[in-house]
Amino acid sequence: MGRPLKNPHAEAEQFRRRAVLAFLAVALSLAGLAAWYFKLQVLDHAAYATRSEANRIRPRPVIPARGMIYDRQGRLLAENLPAFRLEVVPDKAGDTEKLLEELGQLIPLSEEERERFRRERRASPGFRPIPLKLRLSDEEMAAFAVNRWRFPGVELQPYLTRHYPYGELFAHVIGYVGRIDEKDLEELGEAGSVLTHIGKTGIERAYEDILRGRIGYEQIETNVQGRALRTVGRVPARPGADLRLSIDAELQRAAVAAFGDLEGTAVAMDPRTGEILALVSLPSYDPNLFVNGISHADYRALQDNPSRPQYNRAVLGGVAPGSTLKPFLALAGLDSGVRRPEDRTLSTGMFYLPGTSRGWGDSHRGGHGWTDVRKSIAESVNTYYYQLALDMGIARIEEYLVRYGFGQPTGIDLVGESSGILPTPAWKMKQRRERWYPGDTVNISIGQGDWKVTPLQMVRGTAALADGGRLRRPHLVQARRDGFDAPWVPLPQPEPALISDRPEHLQVVREGMVATVHGPGGTARAIGVNAPYLIAGKTGTAQVVSRRGSGAVDPRSLPMHLRHRALFIGYAPADDPQIAVAVAVEGGGYGGSTAAPIARKIFDAWLLGKLPEGLEPLDDSCPAGAADCPPPGAGGGAGAGGGPAAAAAMPSMPASAAPQAPAAEAPVQAPSAAHDPAGGGEGQEAPP
């Protein structure tokens, strides 16, 4: 067969059909592409323009300057200092391990700083600067400046760092700021990710929102790799507000010096306003160690210290009040109608519950004889309160002591305040699953047993006794200002609560407290010698270990950590109260011999401007003892009071409140009702 003949017409027709189909396909594709371009360029223009601009312009946070903190006289307690840190841009620095080795030969780099840099290096893009060393010294900055050419990608960056000029003096008041951790980020949310530091303790934490200020932003133009090119806009940051505290730095120093080598806590308060004038917890620590990250060695030294320097004894701690509870229980007895001022109780040296053979003792082996309320406070007569507590009953005792502020936080402007423990039947059943016995009531009447009060609660209650029964909220911050040129604005405080509506009963209690210091048989009469102003006070001793048998425990015979805690509460001048004080000394023995002298030095510093021996004044222009130097209290609205004329104004006391034989303060520890269902207790006497 031969080959088929070609059909040119059929082939031409087939080509035309194929060409038309191809043209239609190309046309449809071009139409679809045109429609898509139209959608992108016209219909979706606004959305994509916004996204494009967001990719090109990125906000960079600007951290505001933190607010300053001042004392009541304008002394700077927390400031921002210019500092320099060493930052590394890994993309420019090359081999970072080699860089660390060579740079470490020039500037000391700890292993902690190296490890922190490595962690951040792994988690960050290579073009972002990573801090390597914070807070370079002048010598280190000079050494780097000379050798800067050797380290590409390494720069010195200025910033503001927090600094506490007084160091340990205000560690438990001001607190400190520290680097933000994961827990802080959880609390702050996304906004906190731009911050580097946050208040951790003290005022820095309690007023974090006020001190921090408002974060600002810079609008930075970037390229496709995210590198910054230029700044195209700015939303300024608002600095944090400054705070002025009621604390007086001079009085704070005097309180610390008054303790000497002893450990404990002291709180001074203006009874007329609730302002805290001094708050001391010893031993203390340097808060500057924590600002840019404390070293493992320094942190371990603090943690291993058995005295716990970081523990704020005034706010978080608590002790049994001992006999410092007696003025409050005496007032409760009067206000409840269970006792009248002239009612007397016979103290024979031992007190027994009906039907029991084991008893509670008084501070004198032979007893104090017939005792009324004034004498019971001045000589610290336990028997008066044993019987009073039984007559009142635990329910009524709880009612009045809650009114006086015990068993609840004071509301001071610090975080984490302890509420203490006010022993009651409900508390005992909840904590120990045990019923309440009459012996428990007797035991708590002299501030022993399961009691736990903070020095803040003690000074608050004492201030209420001094200020006509007005129970005020203790506070540390007086005022704030939003800007250097702005006026100081006082922070409002709640109205005080009235703990008693019987001024005559308050006066009886105050007379007993005056007799404690100025009466011939008072337990704190030693601090009243040569005092140019009247002091009202009450000593106390909180027992740490119980005794065995019928013998007394002499705290001076015990190791320091087992010795009784010495306590004192008081205010001065007694006829014009301007300062109230609560002192607790750990291992101090007796309140009258250890805690009361510390309080006297605090009174002298505030009322007379007389600093403890060896302490130079902060203001060199006003030497200690100079005639033209006003006392510290004068600058804050509380000047010196009393004087020789004040001593003559001492209230007259009945014979029962001015015994001829001196009294000694002694702790008493009754056995737990768990061991003695009948509630019997053992008395303890002061060593001769």
Catalytic site residues? 323
- The structure tokens listed for 218 are 């810079």
Q: Are 268 and 458 in contact (CB under 8 A)?
A: no
Query: Which residue type sits at 363?
Result: S
Greatest Cα-to-Cα distance within the chain, rounded to the nearest angstrom: 157
End-to-end CA distance of the chain: 148
Angstrom CA distances, 318 to 231, 314, 452, 455, stand at 55, 8, 5, 7
Under 8 Å between Cβ of 657 and 519: yes
Q: Give CA–CA dist 403/412, Å, rounded.
A: 17
Beta bridge pairs of residue 571: 536, 580
Contact residues for 687 (Cβ-Cβ < 8 A; gap 6+) = 552, 554, 556
Q: How far is CA 245 from CA 74, 166, 208, 263, 301, in A?
A: 9, 15, 15, 25, 31
Measured CA distances, 14 to 6, 7, 11, 20, 24 (Å): 13, 11, 5, 10, 15
Length of the chain: 688
How many Cβ atoms sit within 10 Å of the Cβ of residue 497? 14
CA distance 669 to 569: 21
Non-local CB neighbours of 635 within 8 Å, separated by 6+ positions: 72, 73, 248
